[in-house]
Amino acid sequence: MNLSKPVNPIRNYAFGSVIAALILLSPVIAFLIAIAAEMLIDLLTVGGTSAVFAVAAGGIGLVLSRKFWRRPVVVHQSKPEPVPGATAIATAPM
């Protein structure tokens, strides 16, 4: 039995393809981030104080939305606890 051979080579090829796509698209993503930053700077210089308030309100809204959109934590009971005073029901003797 050869343990060095992967169980499913398609999974490895898919993972490698995703990594290669991210490496090839990283300059495009960086360029889009730079354009977005330039647009934000232009908005702040042209808009003045009202644009600063709009960006601050958006940031606060993002923080609050992330806080309230969390999934609730489910607490699991480790083991059932017996009720005091209760007796177990046994089968009838034969």
| pLDDT, tens digit, 9 for 90 and up, residues 70-86 | 666 666 666 666 666 65
pLDDT at 39: 87
With a CB cutoff of 8 Å and minimum separation 6, the contacts of 12 are: 6
pTM (predicted TM-score): 0.42
pLDDT at 91: 63
| Tokens of residue 29, six digits | 């993503």
Length of the chain counted residue by residue: 94
| Tokens of residue 18, six digits | 């995703």
Which residues in the chain show pLDDT less than 50? 1
The whole-angstrom separation of Cα 51 and Cα 40 is 9
pLDDT at 31: 94
The whole-angstrom separation of Cα 56 and Cα 42 is 16
pLDDT at 30: 92
SS3 53: helix
